[in-house]
Amino acid sequence: MTPFHLNNKTILVSGATSPIGHAICERILEMGGKVIALGRNQNKLSDLVNKSTYPENLQTEYVDFELVQSIEDLVKRLPPINGFVSAAAQLLPMPVQFLQEEVIEKVMKVNFHSPVFLVSRLFSTKKVISGSSFVFISSVSSNHPYIGGVLYTAAKAALENFAKVIALEMKSLKIRSNSIQPAMVHSGMFDQTEAFIGKEKMDEHLKNYPLGPGFPDDVAWSSVFLLSDAARWISGTKIVLDGGLTMYP
Ligand SMILES: NC(=O)c1ccc[n+]([C@@H]2O[C@H](COP(=O)([O-])OP(=O)(O)OC[C@H]3O[C@@H](n4cnc5c(N)ncnc54)[C@H](OP(=O)(O)O)[C@@H]3O)[C@@H](O)[C@H]2O)c1
């Protein structure tokens, strides 16, 4: 049997209602895994099941990453898991001089505090099976901050450090933890970024991608790889997914 399969693995996926999250869920299912898809919009969660090729292995659960109690309640409902893909995030680009406390709190809460709190509760309630794999969808921008991106890029950098700390703290249980750093992917944040910088600047930026911008499945397949036993020797590191954008010195 190929080590790339996910048979007998139950994977929790946050941000499952995003195009990238949706692709991650479907590719996990395609590789034989079971998915618990997290989202805060019941209609979008129902859509995931209705559109899925493997609805029998797809469970959906409500969670709002802005509410601590919502995460506490979620963890009580969850079965033991073999992995977690953290894909929920808020972009909310804003130049530093215009930042409001509510925006700072929202981005840091959804992009960093809540994944940390969720994972902490998963461990403290013994819901993480030995040999599990954690995958944090970060961004290439954590190493390449951009104008208006202070909150998003700082939260992603913090998330990558968190991924590494899990790898260190949980090594005795053979739990692996890694980050993925995508550049521009045709998904929700692509559209938000284009609206922020304008189409002309986006088109200019995309010329720097030797392989063009990414698609949700590009992130999904790398996530599947890191979740699988084929990646059994990979922990505490990052995979850059950028179509060659950052290969030039
Ligand atoms: N697209 C890109 O170019 C790109 C590049 C690098 C990294 N990424 C990363 O890839 C992931 C997915 O990106 P995307 O472009 O597909 O994002 P997106 O379309 O903007 O979706 C964001 C996801 O986060 C969820 N979310 C936001 N606030 C939440 C909250 N309070 N509670 C629970 N869930 C919440 C959203 O749920 P709702 O459906 O309810 O809004 C949605 O599922 C993100 O982590 C992003 O940072 C994306």
In single-letter form, the type of residue at position 200 comes to E
Compute the distance from residue 15 Cα to the ligand 1 centre, in Å.
5
Pick from 42, 35, 33, 38: nearest CA to 14:
38
In single-letter form, the type of residue at position 47 comes to D
Atom of ligand 1 nearest to the CA of 14: 34
CA 132 distance to own-chain centroid: 16
Q: pLDDT tens digits, residue range 13-29?
A: 999 999 999 999 999 99
CATH number for 95: 3.40.50.720
Q: pLDDT tens digits, residue range 24-72?
A: 999 999 999 999 999 999 999 999 999 999 999 999 999 999 999 999 9
Output phi, psi for 150, to 5 deg.
-55, -45
Model confidence band, residue 1 (pLDDT cutoffs 50, 70, 90):
confident
**Look-up: residue for tokens 């698609």?**
215
Structure tokens at 44: 């979008």
249 lies in a domain? no
How many CB atoms are closer than 10 A to CB 192?
Answer: 14
pTM of the model: 0.98
247 lies in a domain? no
Ligand 1 pocket by C-beta < 6 Å: which residues?
15, 17-21, 39-41, 44, 63-66, 87-90, 110, 137, 139, 182, 184-185, 187-190
End-to-end CA distance of the chain: 41
What integer best gives the mean pLDDT of the chain?
Answer: 97
132 lies in a domain? yes
246 lies in a domain? no
3-class DSSP string for 219-244: HHHHHHHHHCHHHCCCCCCEEEECCC
CA-CA-CA-CA dihedral for 88, 216, 13, 59, to nearest 10: 120
Compute the distance from residue 214 Cα to the ligand 1 centre, in Å.
15
* Residue with CA at minimum distance from ligand 1 atom 45: 87
5 lies in a domain? no
Range of the domain at 209: 10-241
2 lies in a domain? no
Angle at 63 between CA 59 and CA 68, to 5 degrees: 145
166 lies in a domain? yes
What is the count of structural domains for the chain?
1
4 lies in a domain? no
Q: pLDDT tens digits, residue range 149-186?
A: 999 999 999 999 999 999 999 999 999 999 999 999 99
Q: Is the pLDDT of residue 245 over 80?
A: yes
Structure tokens at 123: 């461990």
Compute the distance from residue 90 Cα to the ligand 1 centre, in Å.
6
Model confidence band, residue 249 (pLDDT cutoffs 50, 70, 90):
confident
